[in-house]
Homo-oligomer: A and B are copies of this chain.
Amino acid sequence: MKSIGFIGLGLMGKPMAKNLLKAGFNLTVHSRSRGPVDELAALGARAAHSPREVAAAAEVVITIVPDSPDVEAVATGLEGILAGAKPGLIHIDMSTISPVATRRIAEIEKQAGVTLLDAPVSGGTVGAEAGTLSIMVGGDEAAFQACQEIFAAMGKRITYLGPSGAGQTTKACNQIMTAGIYAVMSEALVLAAKSGLDPAKVVEVLAGGAARCWALEVRAPKILKRELEPGFKAAMQYKDLNIVAETARAEGVPTPLTAVVRELYATLLVDGKGDLDSSSIVTVLEKLAGVEVRAKD
């Protein structure tokens, strides 16, 4: 059983690391804040003071941090993974970052004999805790095969999608759809509400036909009750839409709709709602139309 390093014990990372412990892996952990490190240590993980130290102790290092610059710092910083890595190390980055950045980091790590897999996830904290995440993997296929057991401890749908960046690009495609669907659903719900319809009935009717989607089934009922706590934070969705923009630019793909969706999320953040659920984009459309989407009594 491989010895694993784990860097980034946030809302997602902590339960993922716990699942690795449960699966019997030997774990060395590091995170910016002390609390979750102690929590994992109490469960049997070894605490390390830096990514360098984590890398020195592991055959596989997992990172899950906020954005591209964080991954770059953790990988290539003075006290970073490369500073401690032995040739042959596999680095699985499970953050959602730009595939362009992923490929740049992979290139640098390759010089040091380290193999980078990009493996962003979807499924939220619920999926992280239950070990049912979807994991989208890009990079060297042999390295992917070698890490199957590790992925299986954290997720359920584990898909190999191609060379370095392929996992991140797939995640970008996913975010185009999840954000876009929320936005078009919001326009529909706001039209329903301002027209005097009962949005709850409209949701029910629409969910029964070609408009059927996860957002209508899971999130629309919460919107009607004004339950907008995350789930997945709007600020992260906005960050991801900027990754989409960078990716689309790099690949030469015009995305006129996603461009507008991103500006709506920018408006949501200006409104100070970045910590609400991504579905709270509905409040931007509500503000434009001067109406609130609520179930009628």
Interface set of A (CB-CB < 8 Å, partner B): 99, 122-124, 134, 136, 157, 159, 161-162, 165-166, 169-170, 172-174, 176-178, 180-181, 183-185, 187-192, 194-198, 201-202, 204-206, 208-216, 218, 232, 242, 244-245, 247-249, 251-264, 266-267, 269-271, 285, 287-291
**Residue from the list B191, B253, B290, B291 in contact with A248, Cβ < 8 A:** B191
Whole-angstrom distance between the Cβ of A156 and the nearest chain B Cβ: 9
Q: Is the CB of B187 within 8 A of A170?
A: no
Q: Is the CB of B169 within 8 A of A176?
A: no
Docked CA distance A183–B159 (Å) = 25
By a CB distance below 8 angstroms, the chain B residues around A245 are 245
Residue of B nearest to A179 (CB): B184
Whole-angstrom distance between the Cβ of A165 and the nearest chain B Cβ: 8
Q: Is the CB of A197 within 8 A of B266?
A: no
By a CB distance below 8 angstroms, the chain B residues around A180 are 180-181, 183-184, 187, 257
Known: A180-B180, A210-B122, A251-B191. A264 touches B256 (CB 8 A): yes
Q: Is the CB of A196 within 8 A of B134?
A: no
Q: Is the CB of A249 within 8 A of B259?
A: no
Known: A197-B162, A266-B248. A188 touches B214 (CB 8 A): no
Residue of B nearest to A160 (CB): B201
By a CB distance below 8 angstroms, the chain B residues around A259 are 259-260, 262-263
Whole-angstrom distance between the Cβ of A45 and the nearest chain B Cβ: 29
Whole-angstrom distance between the Cβ of A241 and the nearest chain B Cβ: 10
Known: A162-B198, A169-B192, A198-B162. A255 touches B263 (CB 8 A): yes
Docked CA distance A271–B184 (Å) = 22
Whole-angstrom distance between the Cβ of A272 and the nearest chain B Cβ: 9
Q: Is the CB of A209 within 8 A of B290?
A: no
Further 20 A-B residue pairs, CB within 8 A, beyond A134-B209, A174-B206, A257-B260: A122-B209, A124-B210, A157-B208, A170-B205, A173-B202, A177-B184, A180-B184, A180-B187, A181-B184, A183-B257, A184-B258, A187-B257, A195-B251, A210-B215, A212-B213, A213-B215, A253-B266, A254-B285, A256-B264, A270-B290
**Residue from the list B194, B206, B215, B252 in contact with A251, Cβ < 8 A:** B194
- Residue with the highest number of chain B CB atoms closer than 10 Å, among A157, A177, A210, A258: A210
Q: Is the CB of B252 within 8 A of A260?
A: no
Q: Is the CB of A260 within 8 A of B260?
A: yes
Docked CA distance A185–B184 (Å) = 12
Docked CA distance A219–B214 (Å) = 16
Docked CA distance A248–B267 (Å) = 11
